[in-house]
């Protein structure tokens, strides 16, 4: 079940660096809030596929469920419930504001993953 897939890991690293650059240098109303959320589920998917041999659909559903779970934690104000509102790490990892738009961006990200995986399967190299 455990494996190492170099291609997914390289994609993970590229997207991770992109996300860090977005977080540090992009302060707009589109790329950071929307494209960043689309990319984050793709990032997590690539990370999972780097180390676990799992079917595309299972990984995609698991990543989407995880992203929805994090968003649910924001809806429930988990950071405040755990008295971690002064922790920059907790506020960054868990987040502090629920948004239905975020849920949509996660779905779009997973849809991109599924489309790319389907194209990959139909055009093997």
CA 90 – CA 78 distance, rounded (Å): 10
According to the model, what pLDDT value does residue 96 have? 86
CA 119 – CA 124 distance, rounded (Å): 8
Query: Backbone phi, then psi, for 114, in 5-degree steps?
Result: -65, -40
- Secondary structure (3-state) at 52: strand
CA dihedral 114, 53, 13, 20 (to 10 degrees): 70
Q: Mind listing the pLDDT tens digit for each residue in 94-114?
A: 888 899 999 999 999 999 999
pTM: 0.92
Does residue 125 surpass a pLDDT of 80?
Answer: no
């Amino acid at each position: 079940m455990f494996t190492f897939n170099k291609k997914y890991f390289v994609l993970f690293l590229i997207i991770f660096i992109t996300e860090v650059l977005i977080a540090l240098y992009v302060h707009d109303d589109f790329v950071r809030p929307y494209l960043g959320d689309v990319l984050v589920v793709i990032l997590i998917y690539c990370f999972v596929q780097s180390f676990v041999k799992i079917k595309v659909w299972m990984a995609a559903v698991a990543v989407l469920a995880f992203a929805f779970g994090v968003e649910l934690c924001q809806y429930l104000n988990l950071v405040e419930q755990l008295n971690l509102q002064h922790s920059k790490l907790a506020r960054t990892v868990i987040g502090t504001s629920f948004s239905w738009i975020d849920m949509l961006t996660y779905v779009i990200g997973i849809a991109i993953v599924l489309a790319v995986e389907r194209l990959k399967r139909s055009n093997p190299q």
